[in-house]
């Protein structure tokens, strides 16, 4: 894992973990994995799952995931024209 990803994960996890200070780190990670509907082993939980879940944890259910919002088009016709390279 790159240093900037470690820093980002620590920055995101710290305020959320403080809300659940009765849990140790592993318990809190298990809670996050369960919330994210991750069904694998804890050692297979990727930093991407944790980062995106922590970013979206307190947001509205209908809010678009950061990183996908830039590619969304409200108008189907515009989306098709952009996909075909007719408009930029």
Share of the chain above pLDDT 90, in %: 48
CA nearest to 58, candidates 34, 25, 35:
35
Distance in angstroms (rounded) separating the CA atoms of residues 2 and 38: 23
Q: What is the pLDDT of residues 12-41, one digit of tens each?
A: 999 999 999 999 999 999 999 999 999 999
Quote the pTM value: 0.67
Distance in angstroms (rounded) separating the CA atoms of residues 87 and 81: 6
Domains of the chain (ranges plus CATH)? 3-61 (1.10.1580.20)
Distance in angstroms (rounded) separating the CA atoms of residues 67 and 64: 9
With bands split at pLDDT 50, 70 and 90, how would you rate the model's confidence at 1?
A: low
58 or 27, greater pLDDT = 27
């Amino acid at each position: 894992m790159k240093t900037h990803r470690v820093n980002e994960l620590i920055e995101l996890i710290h305020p959320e973990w403080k809300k659940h200070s009765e849990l140790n780190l592993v318990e809190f990670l298990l809670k996050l994995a369960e919330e994210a509907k991750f069904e694998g082993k804890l050692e297979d939980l990727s930093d991407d799952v944790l980062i995106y879940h922590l970013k979206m944890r307190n947001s509205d259910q209908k809010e678009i995931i950061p990183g996908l919002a830039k590619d969304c088009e409200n108008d189907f016709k515009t989306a098709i024209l952009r996909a075909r390279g007719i408009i930029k």
